[in-house]
């Protein structure tokens, strides 16, 4: 079975990069390869210039990987857990105590430092996972579904922490199913399906690149609807015109078509144009349009 197929992806330093795909699309495999947990059977992957296979040790120093499960020892105390991973990352003892306190402060768990992990709520365990990721001050964070299973408040708080980390200069790759949040959080996204890359680029550009057509909504007086439809249908740049909810939905032939032809046509034809705006489709709609829901 091929988990990833010709996946060619570049993430810039400082990006908050959203990784989107159905279950089984290959997101976790990609993150595991970048985290040096899995070796690719073919192809290369580089993290901050280091090859993930040949230079895995260097990669492990600069990344922080948070899988889609907690990976906690429930009978350990919070500080004990972070202390253990700090030792695994070979942080000197004298420095470790301060680092643990700092990361707990950052994720808002300072008050729980003496608590047993098993007694923490799911949201707090997720925060603890994030604190573990940050313990060695990595430059790249690989976060697999960091907000899954969290209540709305915990999710919003988690997103705020991620934005703060981006402001601190961290590069973050985040895989998530909550696309509305990725849309506001990330500056760039990638969509994959069946291990293949469908789109990569800025969030703002995703709708433009992935939509074949451009949809505009024109508001004209109801008595002039028939006239407006006739005028617009006569233009070769217009693919379709529909009357919906007292407005006209105008579909242009391509996404590059200049929408000002609508206003020009209507005004020149004597139709009163009261408003014109572009149809805003969200990341969720784009995702639904461009993917077929196929898994491997």
**Given 8, 75, 223, 256, the residue binding other proteins (CB under 8 A):** 75
CB 253 within 8 A of CB 233: no
Using CB under 8 A as the binding criterion, the count of chain residues that bind other proteins stands at 29
Q: What is the C-alpha separation between 296 and 287, in angstroms, rounded? A: 18
Tokens coding 282:
């969200």
CB of 46 to other proteins, least distance (A): 16
Which one, 70 or 217, has the nearer CB to other proteins? 70
Nearest to 102 by CA among 86, 120, 117: 86
Which one, 39 or 226, has the nearer CB to other proteins? 39
Query: Residue 62, SS3?
Result: helix
Scanning residues 54 to 73, which ones bind other proteins (CB under 8 A)?
A: 57, 60-61, 63, 65, 67, 69-73
Per-residue x/- marks for other proteins, 22-41, CB under 8 A?
-------------xxxxx--
Which one, 114 or 236, has the nearer CB to other proteins? 114
CB of 284 to other proteins, least distance (A): 29
Q: What is the C-alpha separation between 61 and 138, in angstroms, rounded? A: 7
**Torsions phi, psi of 228, nearest 5?**
-65, -40
Scanning residues 108 to 137, which ones bind other proteins (CB under 8 A)?
A: 132
Q: What is the C-alpha separation between 80 and 61, in angstroms, rounded? A: 21
Based on the shown chain and the rule CB under 8 A, indicate whether residue 46 belongs to the binding site for other proteins. no
CB 40 within 8 A of CB 3: no
CB of 205 to other proteins, least distance (A): 33
Count of beta carbons in the 10 Å neighbourhood of residue 293: 10
Helix H or strand E encompassing 242:
strand 238-244
CB of 146 to other proteins, least distance (A): 14
Query: Which residue ranges make up the site for other proteins (CB under 8 A)?
Result: 35-39, 57, 60-61, 63, 65, 67, 69-76, 80, 83-85, 87-90, 93, 132
């Amino acid at each position: 079975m091929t988990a990833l197929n010709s996946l060619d992806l570049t993430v810039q330093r400082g990006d908050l990069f959203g990784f989107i795909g159905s279950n089984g699309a290959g997101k976790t495999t990609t993150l595991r390869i970048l985290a040096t947990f899995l070796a690719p059977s073919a192809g290369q992957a580089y993290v901050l210039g280091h090859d993930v296979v040949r230079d895995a040790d260097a990669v492990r120093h600069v990344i922080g990987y948070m899988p889609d499960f907690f990976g906690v020892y429930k009978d350990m105390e919070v500080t004990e857990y972070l202390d253990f991973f700090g030792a695994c990352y070979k942080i000197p003892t004298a420095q470790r105590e301060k680092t643990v306190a700092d990361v707990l402060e950052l994720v808002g768990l300072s008050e729980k430092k003496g608590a047993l992990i098993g007694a923490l709520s799911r949201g707090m365990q997720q925060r603890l996972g994030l604190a573990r990721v940050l313990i060695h001050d990595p430059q790249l964070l690989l976060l697999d579904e960091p907000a899954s299973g969290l209540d709305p408040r915990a999710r919003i708080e988690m997103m705020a922490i991620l934005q703060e980390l981006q402001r601190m200069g961290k590069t973050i790759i985040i895989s998530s199913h909550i696309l509305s949040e990725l849309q506001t959080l990330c500056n760039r996204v990638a969509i994959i399906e069946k291990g293949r890359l469908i789109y990569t680029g800025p969030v703002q550009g995703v709708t433009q690149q992935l939509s074949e057509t451009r949809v505009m909504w024109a508001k004209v007086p109801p008595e002039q609807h028939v006239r407006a439809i006739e005028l617009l249908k006569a233009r070769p740049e217009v693919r379709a015109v529909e009357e919906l909810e007292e407005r006209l939905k105008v579909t242009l032939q391509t996404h590059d078509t200049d929408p000002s032809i609508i206003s020009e046509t209507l005004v020149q034809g004597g139709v009163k144009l009261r408003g014109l705006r572009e149809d805003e489709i969200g990341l969720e709609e784009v995702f639904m349009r461009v993917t077929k829901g196929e898994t491997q």
